[in-house]
Amino acid sequence: MAIDLKAIEQLATDQSSLKAAAGLAKPAKWSGVGVSYDGALVWGECAGSGANPYRVMADLRDLGNKCTCPSRKFPCKHVLGLLWLKAEAVVPFAPADTPAWVSDWLGRRRAGAGTSKAPPSVAPSAAKDLRAARQTEPEVVEDPKDAARREAAAAKRSEDTERAILDALDALEQWIGDQLRMGLSAFVDDVTARCRRIAARLVDGKAAVLAGRIDELPGRLLALPPGDRPRGAVVELGKLVLLARAFRTTPRDAEIRRAVAASETREAVLTNPQTLRVNARWEVLAEQVQTRRDGLVSQTTWLLSLNNDGPRFAMLLDFFPASVGRRGSVFTPGERFQGELAFYPSRQPLRALLVAREAVEDATSPEWPTPEMVLADTLTSPLLAEPWTIEIPVLLPAGRIALDDAGHPWWRSADGASTLPVAGSAEGLLCGTDLKRTAAIWSGNRLTILAAQTSWGRVSGHG
C-alpha cells in the first residue's frame, strides 16, 4: 500500500505540524521501523523529548494512526514523520511480524479514526504547504549586546530562583519542626491535607520536584501498616531535612537541584560531557505507571543491564498530563534490546535517557548478572551518596517468598541470612518456586518485586 506526500499534507492539522514532521523525517530519529507483510501497517519508534522513544503506528488503508506521545494534536508530528519516511522511502521499511503493541492498538481502534479526511475545524489544505515545511529557517546572527543582555537576564533569573527555593526550604524546615511539635500521631492522621499545603508553598517557591515528592508522601506513608507509620514519618521527614540542608550547602549541584527544583532538559543531558553513556544489552524489568496528585502521570521503566560487569539498573522516567488519557506502554516487561543509554550525571547514576535502541532480541539468554555486594551494603551504600533517596533498585541473590501468620509475604535469602518484608501481596508462581535472582525496589521498609528469574523462566512481580 502506497502513501504520497499529498495525503500527508491533507492529514496534518496545521503548517507547524507539517514543519515539525519534516524535521522528524530523518533516519537518525527513528528505530525499529517496519511494515506488515501485507503492507497495510507501518510502525516505528521515534526519539522524543522524554526518556523513552514514542511508539508510532499507522494503518495505511485508512490512515488511522496512533502515537504514544502526549500531544493533543491528532495526528501528531511523529505520525506525520513516520508516514513521511514511508512516502519518500527515507529509511527501508523491513517487512516483519506485526509487533504486539500494534496488534493491541488494532484491537482497540474504531474504523475511520484518523481517516484521511481533515477535521472540519482546521484550515483548508491550501494553508499547509509541504515545500514550506521542508525549508530550513535562515540562521539569525545575534547582536553581541543582545546576547550579553540575555545572559545577564538568565543569570538574574537563576539567582532569583535560587533565592525563592532557599526561602521555600526555610518554610519547609519550619513546617517539619511544627509537625514534630504537634505530634507525629496528629501528622499521620491529617497527612494529606498538611502535605498539600506545604507542597503548594514549595511550588510557589519554585521547588516543584520537591513539592511533587511531598505530594506523594501521604501515599507512601499510608501504604504502611498503621503501627509503622510514625517510624515511616520520621524516615520521610528526616530525608527532607537532609535534602534541604544539601541544597543550602551546594545549590548549584545539578543532582541536588534535580531533586528539588527541575531536571535538566534532554538536550542538556546529552550534551553534558559528564554524562555517562552505556551501550549494553538491557532487559525491561517492569513498567510502573502512577497518576500523581499534581495531575501528572509518571511512567517509570526499570531496566537491567545484561552485560557481565555487575548489576546496573537504569530508570527511564517520563511525565505526561493525566488529562491526555491513557498512554500506550513503550516497553513490554521481559523484552530485551541492545541500546545506548545516557545517564543523568549523578553520584549513583540511575535515571537515564534512551538514546538509541536496536532490534529486539530473544529473551532466553543470557542470565542476569550476579549480585556483587553483601546484601546489607547493597541496601545502604546508595544512602551514603544520596541520603534522601527513596527507592533503591537491588538485585537479590537466590531466595524464596515466605508468608507470615497474617499471610504477608517476606523475601528470604536461600542461605537464610536475610529476610525482608515485601510490599503488597505475593501470589501464584512468585511464592511457589525458588527465585534464582530477584530484581526489586527497596524503599527502606518494603521490597517491591519487579521481576524474578526462576526455573519456570521469568516471573513478573508487582509491576
Partner 1 sequence: MAEAIYDAMGSVLTRWTMGSAAAPAAAVWSAELGAEPAEAELRLLALSGQFLGVAVTAEPPELRVLPDIPALALPTVPEALRPLVHRILNAFKETQRKTELLDFLAARGWTTHPAEWMPTANDEDAPDVYAPWRDWAGIAASNCVVRRQAGDRLTADNWEDFWPAARKVALTELRRRDPEVARAVLEAKLASENADVRLPLLSLLATGLSEADIPFLEGIAANDRAPKVKALAASLLARLSRGPTVGEDIAELAGFFSVKMKGLLRRSRVIQFENVKTPAQMHRRAALLESADIASLARALMLTPQELVDAWNWDVDRQADAALVGLVARTGTDSLVAQTAEAASQCNASAFLATLTPRLVPGQRSELAEKVLRTRGFSFDVAKTIAGGTARLENPMTAPAGTALLAALRRDDAKPSDELTELFALGLIASRAAARQALERLNGAGLLQGDPRLDMLRLNAALDDNGAEP
Near partner 1 in 403-462, by CB under 8 A? 403-405, 410, 412, 419-421, 427-429, 431-434, 444-445, 456-460
Looking at the Cβ atoms of 219 and 230, the one nearer to partner 1 is: 230
Determine which residue in the list 6, 117, 245, 347 makes contact with partner 1, applying CB under 8 A.
Answer: 245
Closest distance to partner 1 from the beta carbon of 99 (Å) = 8
Determine which residue in the list 158, 185, 370, 425 makes contact with partner 1, applying CB under 8 A.
Answer: 185
Q: Which 188-217 positions form the footprint of partner 1 (CB under 8 A)?
A: none
**Are the C-beta atoms of 383 and 296 separated by less than 8 Å?**
no
Binding map of partner 1 across residues 339-368, x = CB under 8 A, - = no contact: ------------------------xx----
Closest distance to partner 1 from the beta carbon of 389 (Å) = 9
Following CA atoms 219, 50, 295, 322 in sequence, which dihedral angle do they give, to the nearest 10 degrees? -110
**Are the C-beta atoms of 64 and 113 separated by less than 8 Å?**
yes
Looking at the Cβ atoms of 344 and 411, the one nearer to partner 1 is: 411
Number of residues that bind partner 1 (CB under 8 A): 71
DSSP symbol at 7: H
Q: Which 6-65 positions form the footprint of partner 1 (CB under 8 A)?
A: 36-38, 40-41, 59
Looking at the Cβ atoms of 151 and 367, the one nearer to partner 1 is: 367
Q: What are phi and psi of 173, to 5 degrees?
A: -65, -40
Closest distance to partner 1 from the beta carbon of 443 (Å) = 9
Checking DSSP bridges between strand 419-421 and strand 409-413, what pairing results, if any? antiparallel
Binding map of partner 1 across residues 85-124, x = CB under 8 A, - = no contact: ------------xx-x-xxx-xx-xxx-------------
* H or E, element range at 209: helix 208-222
Checking DSSP bridges between strand 94-96 and strand 30-36, what pairing results, if any? parallel
Which of these, 446, 375, 441, lies nearest to 413 by C-alpha position? 375
Q: Which residues contact 419 (CB under 8 A, 6 or more apart)?
A: 402, 410, 411, 412, 413
Is 170 near partner 1 (CB under 8 A)? Answer: no
Is 402 near partner 1 (CB under 8 A)? Answer: yes
Looking at the Cβ atoms of 2 and 140, the one nearer to partner 1 is: 2
Looking at the Cβ atoms of 94 and 153, the one nearer to partner 1 is: 94
Looking at the Cβ atoms of 107 and 138, the one nearer to partner 1 is: 107
Is 325 near partner 1 (CB under 8 A)? Answer: no
Q: Hey, which residues does 303 pair with through a beta bridge?
A: 284, 314
3-state secondary structure of 255: helix
Cα distances from 420 to residues 57, 83, 377, 408, in angstroms, run 43, 51, 14, 11
Q: Which 248-287 positions form the footprint of partner 1 (CB under 8 A)?
A: none
3-state secondary structure of 445: coil
DSSP symbol at 13: S
